[in-house]
Amino acid sequence: MLIQTKALVIKENNVGEVDRLVTLLTEKAGVIRAFARGARSSKSKTLSATRLFCYSSMTVWASADKYVIREAEPIEVFFELRDNIEKIALAQFFSQACMELAPQEESADDYLKLTLNCLHFLAKGTRAAEQIKSIFELRILSLSGYMPSLEGCAKCGKPEADVMYFNTLSGELCCESCGAQGERIAPGVLSAMRYIVYSNFKKVFSFNLSDESLAELSRVSERFFLAQTARDYTTLDFYNTVRGT
Ligand SMILES: [Zn+2]
């Protein structure tokens, strides 16, 4: 069966002399591993289209036990990522998260849109890396069934307080008078989290925060991400090492 789909290369491995085995986040078939035969030969048309973080239009042959890329035409190659170790490291964390959380062999349109937009802003440098990373973490968790509950205190329902507490294990808020359980978060940071989780995707990158609040948002989002996924992310450790945090 031939599948015509848009796809982002989220991992690449060289196989043999000229072949490449890539992991793709595709619009129509979710995360798949596909062979690009002869992709590393200089004559190959699929050479650039199957490089890491290249977004391409592809024709993929799907048989019972494997996928083979027949044709690939690059749409966007995210060149700006290549020369910056910090950006590459963050992009690799996005890739690992997609491999863990995005569906396999079924439509993953929303995951692809989220990841492409994050790579776009990361490549252009028009948003702080911490902002992009928090958006990615909170939105991918929401897509995969771990949406936090940010309407108000889980016990008394109070929507606002001078200080709220966020439980990264339950994904719930708690106010001071109900026991102050979880991480203390400032009102501005809570607003940003609500904006990220509940706003229309088209607007999700359009908010501003002070550096201090952004750092807090980033810390809480990362802890929530790790608590919910309950896995080690080597790419995240590497990113934090590169950033020096
Ligand atoms: Zn309460």
Condensed to tens digits (0 to 9), the pLDDT of residues 133-171 reads: 999 999 999 999 999 999 999 999 999 888 899 999 999
Ligand 1 centroid to Cα of residue 147, in Å, is: 20
Average confidence (pLDDT) over 4-9: 97
Taking the complete model, does pTM exceed 0.75, yes or no? yes
Which of the residue ranges 27-31, 80-84, 143-147 would you say has the lowest mean pLDDT?
80-84
Closest CA to 193 of 145, 241, 224, 150: 150
- Around ion ligand 1, residues with a beta carbon closer than 5 Å are 153, 155-156, 158, 175, 178
Q: How far is the CA of 224 from the centre of ligand 1 (A)?
A: 20
Whether residue 18 is predicted with pLDDT greater than 90 in this model: the reply is no
Domains in the chain (CATH in brackets) are 2-77 (2.40.50.140), 83-243 (1.20.1440.120)
| pLDDT higher than 80, residue 232 | yes
Would you say 40 and 6 are in contact if contact means Cβ atoms under 8 Å apart? no
**Measured in angstroms, how far is the CA atom of residue 117 from the centroid of ligand 1?**
36
Give 83's pLDDT tier (boundaries 50, 70, 90): confident
Q: What is the pLDDT of residue 128?
A: 96
In angstroms, what is the span from residue 221 Cα to ligand 1's centroid? 22
* Ligand 1 centre distance from Cα of residue 150 (Å): 12
Contact 110, 104 (CB under 8 A): no
